[in-house]
A and B are shown apart, each in its own frame.
Chain A
């Protein structure tokens, strides 16, 4: 080996990492992982809850729209009945007047 190669070898001597390197590796390697089935169950449960909430919100919206339409329909019906009553009274008065003049 030449002097140059010796210099290269010295420059590339192995170095130690930080003192707690092995401890950090061990901590990461042995940390408890949740079993896959548990993770999958959690995912399905979350999806189920999300779907239920969406369906619930949709149901409430439909119910709300139905109630509003019902109230509007009832109000229109009441207005129509009132208008017909007024018209009926007026017609009755006119009918009396016509009979009185005859």
Chain B
């Protein structure tokens, strides 16, 4: 590796490097200056993300760097930008929540930056090992973040469960990678694809390898049957971290799946499409049916996100180009509508009442019609009712499914989305149609309002003008 290649590699990964440097500096900041309180660190973290975003614009694109382990291609860039936005929103949502929880440790934001860095590495990795490093970086940071409320048993329990199951999933993933290495002699995705094109598709070792790799990623995106950790972690983790987990690492997991399966294993689609078909259907079914009986809103959103995962997985069963566009659209919209719903939950959190039961939302519309309307918008979006962006996201997936004649899958998908509509609109029913049982004291500070306004605008705006996003995605597709 000559000096030119090194410079080019650093150049391509400048955003990641900037973020890491910032994160380390912010970790030390409170030691150096007592003035650096956690609020300042939060704003500095946002600054770091913005600087990284600017660095992305300047860096060279589409060249394989770091010995073919890293690439900054349009799709990676798309995901990175989405991560910047979601992380900034999560930081905005965290500021007042942490104040309410009386948590002053500024490491919280540093770990968020580390997690962001890991996600960026995941979407840029072109080698299973660099992807794995990204996954571990995200995992380690989020283990700590979900156990951040260390005086609360459910938070520690969540973190412990997450660590154990996360370690298990990493082991499974590594096993799958090692099998692939045994088959092909490489972990670089393009080389794997080339080597596999000569391998017999019926080779049991290949089937095993693909299954293990999928299982490893399945934990990250919480597809059934690898979803067990999710409801507990979602419920126990601090709410902004739940919001982060539900969008950031999950979307990064999908980005990896897209790169590995739609491009790396493209020729083996017959093989893994059966696997994904079954998993997608079961995921949608479990997600939407179990959500029906939830009483905690964070658990409800956990199961709702599981059913969304099932829906998105359906996009893998179509032609790579079309499926790619539909999945990207869905992920983008999903990030914003889900963050929006969590923003409302966080706004309603107050020190004396957590307001995390679904029944706590009863009658919200009477005292806070705008907040309730925003929540209703996100609920209708998650349910996929037009004119919200959630509808167009589902519509795109249905379109690509039907373009490949997957009529049964499309019918199943819409049936499960009708079932899941029940629990979303039940929240609306409680908010709008029943009298209030308690006085609400939502925290509507400027950062929370900015987050709410952004998510609501995107959720409604992309429903009315979906071509704005479609055009961007078309440019990002490889």
Decide whether A and B assemble into one complex. Answer: no
Binding site for A on B (CB under 8 A): none
